[in-house]
Amino acid sequence: MLPTLKQLQHFIAIADTGQVSRAAQRCHVTQSSMTASLKTLETTVGATLFTRHAAGVRLTEAGDRFLRHAQQVEVVMREAMDSVALRPSQATGPIRIGVTETISAYVLSAVMKALEKKFPGLVPTFMELERSEVEAGVRQGTLEMALLLASNLPANESLQCQPLIRSPRQLWAPPEHPLMVADRVGLADVATYRYILLDMDEHVSTVDKYWREYHLRPDVGFRSSSIEAVRSLVASGQGVTILSDLVYRPWSLDGHRIVRRQLADPVPSMDVGLVWDSARPHSRNFFEVKDYLSSSFRDMLRMSA
């Protein structure tokens, strides 16, 4: 007997949230129904997919392997539905969109693929620039819109921002790390371990800000602009880090596992937003792309996961 699509969706939700209760809320079912669904799925596949800890659940090695296939099944099903429901736009011509390094690394391929399907006649030009250059391009009109980390957008009367996704930040460490099995983990606990700091976009300024709010400092043992370097160091036990779910992967390039858990102390999410200058006139293409990204961005990322 094969698992049902609903069981796979429940399993993916638990893996994404790390808690059965939060997964139940996301899927709009009761916690008992979610628990029963997971139990039936584990019986069907003949393996334990999660282990429990004080803060929730985490994937077993079998769960990690099964998750990749479950996500592929969900993607294929969504693509099948989109192939029937998607109505291509008749928009044609150019549009210029600015992005920063983080957006290029984790969002851009999904956006490009989705725009190609929805707007076959559109000619989008994406430009990766420094944050200040992207904002200047939007204000000056050389860029019609931009995809940015919106949580750090400066106050500006003409720049408008449409939030697209809020990605929680969680603690990353190897599965056997003491912080992964502790009853409660706050920033004070994290501060007692070597910290691997990602230096990409304005990430460092965000890290400094929320650590200062708790009058703490991370014990930075290594700083890198490479997310893969950070993953490898964390997975091999060289330190821990706090990063967004948007950039999370359960394995490093060298094959070591990474797990994540929610912190007891609230930390800001990583918010991606669509930014434009409301004081400037815009093309019809702009409004069609803006509306499409606003309504479909989360699905784009899910399809590309």
Q: What is the pLDDT of residues 105-120, one digit of tens each?
A: 889 999 999 899 889 9
In the chain, how many domains are there? 3
Q: CB atoms < 10 A from the CB of 130, how many?
A: 11
Boundary of a domain, candidates 55, 84, 113: 84
- Tell me, what's the pLDDT at 227? 92
158 shares a domain with 113: yes
Residue 107 sits at the vertex; the CA angle it makes with 133 and 298, to the nearest 5 degrees, is 120
- pLDDT tens profile 212-238: 999 999 999 999 999 999 999 999 999
Residue 159 is predicted with a pLDDT of: 87
Indicate the burial class of 201 (C-beta count within 10 angstroms; 0-12, 13-18, 19 or more): buried
Q: What number is the average pLDDT over the span 24-36?
A: 93
Distances (CA, A) of 97 to 81, 223, 286, 291: 28, 30, 10, 14
pLDDT at 67 over 80: yes
Within a domain: 74: yes
What is the overall mean pLDDT for the chain?
Answer: 89
Q: Is the pLDDT of residue 85 over 60?
A: no
Q: Does some domain include residue 183?
A: yes
Q: How confident is the model at residue 150 (pLDDT cuts 50, 70, 90)?
A: confident
Regarding whether 74 and 10 lie in a shared domain, the answer is yes
Residues 180 and 157 in one domain: no
Task: Please check the confidence at residue 303 and state whether its pLDDT lies above 80.
Answer: no
Domain C-terminal end among 45, 65, 84: 84
Average pLDDT over residues 42-64: 88
**Range from 74-83, 196-205, 256-265, 291-300 carrying the lowest mean pLDDT:** 74-83
Report the CATH number at residue 126. 3.40.190.10
Residue 27 CB partners (closer than 8 Å, separation 6+): 9, 10, 13, 34
Same domain for 218 and 291, yes or no, is no
Which pTM was predicted? 0.74
Q: Is residue 266 part of a domain?
A: no
Question: Has residue 11 been placed in a domain?
Answer: yes
Q: Which residues span the domain enclosing 64?
A: 5-84
Q: Is residue 97 part of a domain?
A: yes
Task: Find the helix or strand (DSSP H, E) in which 295 lies.
Answer: helix 284-304
Let me know whether 218 and 249 are in one domain: yes
Higher pLDDT, 71 or 95: 95
Helix, strand, coil percentages, rounded to 5, for the chain: 45, 25, 30
**Domain match, 255 and 173 both:** yes
The three-class DSSP label of residue 101 is helix
Residue 216 belongs to a domain: yes
Same domain, 107 and 188: no
| C-alpha closest to that of 48 among 60, 57, 58 | 60
Position of tokens 């691997």?
196
Inform me whether the pLDDT recorded for 56 exceeds 90.
Answer: no
Residues 23 and 144 in one domain: no
Q: Closest Cα to residue 116, out of 124, 104, 108? A: 124
pLDDT band at 249 (very low <50, low <70, confident <90, very high): confident
CA dist list (Å): 5 to 25, 72, 78, 153: 18, 12, 11, 39
pLDDT for 8 equals 93
Predicted local distance difference test score (pLDDT) of residue 24: 93
Q: Of 60, 84, 108, which one is at a domain's C-terminal end?
A: 84
> Taking Cα atoms as reference points, which of 135, 141, 144, 137 lies closest to residue 94?
144
Beta strands, E only, 1-144: 50-53, 56-59, 93-99, 122-128
Q: Do both 70 and 196 map to the same domain?
A: no
